[in-house]
Structure 1
Amino acid sequence: MVQNYTADLKHALWSLQSAGALPPFPKSEWKHVLSGTAVNLDAVFSGLKPSKIVQTHGDWTIAWNSTSSAILCAFPHRAFELQQYSEYILQFFEAFPYSHSKVINLNKAIHRYTREVKHIELSEVGRFWHLEARYLQEDSAGNRTGTRKEK
């Protein structure tokens, strides 16, 4: 389906619009949906709310639900994958209630990783353990804010 959509992205988007099934979603992010690449949740969120970036569990949920709806419009067969990924990320918001930025950074890292390694689905959460360790542990490289001298 990605090959069909990317052969002519404008026509693919027009076809979906003509079917009348498109959910509200930033036009700039449709190319990512149709080409099967990672969607920028900050761009989705800023298209829905005055805030420019996803900062909290609620922000993430709003942006992710909109993104999932857009993906399902183009790829209905991905429903299970998207549901599994949503549950996976939501468990971290629960486990780290005062560290939403860690979870949001993990989400971004997972999307970068799946963009580079094309054959991994978001529901293959066992493939993200190295990213969990990097972004969720207190002293990990993904969470460092200062230099060694500052510490």
Structure 2
Amino acid sequence: DVLDKCNVIVEQYRAGAIEKARAYLAIQQTMPADDEAVFLAALEAQMRAIDSIDRLRNTGGARGGAAAAGLGGSAGQSKDSGNDRGGNEDVQPVKRPRSRQDDDDDGQSARKRIQTELFAWSIGNEIDKAILHPVVVETNRQLENFSRDLKGAKTNLLNTFSRPQFPDEEWGSLLSGRPVDLDRVFTSIYSVSLDSKAIERIGSVELSVGHVTPTKAIKTYGDWVTAWSAASEATLFVFPHLKADLDGYTKHVLAYFRALPAEPKHFHQRVINYDRAVRIRLSERRDLRFVDYASFTDLQLMWVSGPSAGSVNVGDGDGNKGRRSGSGARDGRKTEPCNRWNDGSCPNSPSSCRYVCRKCRSNRHSENSCPK
């Protein structure tokens, strides 16, 4: 609410509805002063936003004046030069043909002319930097730096002596802020096949051939711990400031594994799906941490506590999407009547078999006692 009110004040100043001094006073009165450090940081961010509006106005006025002066000067120069040339009006200056370098320079100049201060989200972004946790700000700072030359950053990382063993493609996921595919990590740990990938270029199009599909999927507590340990080590190599967050999140997920029984297996699959959903949300947001558990409450209900949480086995890889756990039943039991129970010789428990009559599907008697 405070941020929205501040944004309204800044927009009023941008539109010229209020003066600068009144805008400063209104922002100061809007912000709570419980924490002096947070108050000063947020106030400074709002003042920078207002100052940026002034800079844009001054820049626009300067450019307009320069353009008008340039037009006037051009006309005067044309007139004077025409008088100086006298009878040599047919003489034309030799023009150098435009080169590709000139076109590239023009393209770069056009790209540089973009004014990020005009983006609707730029003002709120400055305020968020002052309010959000330093861990979030540092993570975004690193990701923004990587995005400037993602390929160069990855090349530099791969040539680092102390980097841990990790799939090549998942290094790219870390540097670009995408969630790590634990199925691929798990497959790489137990695989001796080479992850070869051929790249062919046709003009400006780049084709990648040889994409490896994970052959192992995370299905149990042990699988998850194995893959997550490798992923955590790689994450800390790129973002060392996340150590406390990763330690806390690991304990958080392990607590769910301990709280749910290992059998049937779909109980642990709930936790695996929950972890995957959390990491997807973190990759699609830029204001959350691994330890912001309150922001994952809906995911906990959906994947761990919900009535249908364990009915779908969602894999990281495309080949595992849409599979149902167990043999087709939502509770892990077989859907067909137990033949051995109907014959009077089933050694299993009712939780793993379906004890119903083969003829009438009644659960009160077997086929041998069926009255039909």
Please say which of residues 76-85 and 11-20 is displaced more in the overlay.
Answer: 11-20
Q: Which residue of 1 aligns with 2:71?
A: none
Q: Which residue of 1 aligns with 2:150?
A: 9
Q: How far apart are 1:18 and its partner, in Å? A: 3.1
Unaligned stretches of 5+ in structure 1? none
With the length of structure 1 as denominator, give the TM-score of the two structures.
Answer: 0.87
Listed one character per residue, the Cα deviations across residues 97-141 of structure 1 (whole Å, up to 9, x for unaligned) are: 32110100111111122222221111111211111111112514x
Aligned partner of 2:251 among 87, 90, 97:
87
Q: Which residue of 2 aligns with 1:117?
A: 285
Q: How many Å separate the matches in 2 of 1:27 and 1:106? A: 25
User: Contact 2:187 / 2:217 at 8 angstroms: preserved in 1?
Assistant: yes
SS in 1 for 2:163: coil
- Amino acid of the residue matched to residue 270 of structure 2? K
Q: How many Å separate the matches in 2 of 1:65 and 1:8? A: 28
Aligned partner of 1:23 among 164, 169, 178:
164
What do you get for the CA RMSD once the two structures are aligned?
2.0
1:128 lines up with 2:296 in the alignment: yes
With the length of structure 2 as denominator, give the TM-score of the two structures.
Answer: 0.37
SS in 1 for 2:290: coil
Structure number with larger C-alpha Rg: 2
User: Contact 2:269 / 2:310 at 8 angstroms: preserved in 1?
Assistant: no
Hey, which of these two has a bigger chunk of helix by percent?
Answer: 1
- Amino acid of the residue matched to residue 126 of structure 1? A
Aligned partner of 2:183 among 42, 47, 55:
42
Please say which of residues 67-76 and 3-12 is displaced more in the overlay.
Answer: 3-12
Aligned partner of 1:62 among 220, 226, 233:
226
Q: Which residue of 1 aligns with 2:239?
A: 75
Listed one character per residue, the Cα deviations across residues 35-65 of structure 1 (whole Å, up to 9, x for unaligned) are: 2221111111111125511111111111111
Q: Percent sequence identity over matched residues? A: 32
- Amino acid of the residue matched to residue 84 of structure 1? G
Structure number with the bigger relative contact order (C-alpha 8 A, sep ≥ 6) is 1
Q: How many Å separate the matches in 2 of 1:58 and 1:132? A: 21
User: Contact 1:134 / 1:143 at 8 angstroms: preserved in 2?
Assistant: no
Runs of 4+ in 1 over 6 A off after TM superposition: none
Q: How many Å separate the matches in 1 of 2:162 and 2:155? A: 11
- Amino acid of the residue matched to residue 176 of structure 2? S
Q: How many Å separate the matches in 2 of 1:129 and 1:19? A: 39
Q: Which residue of 1 aligns with 2:310?
A: 143
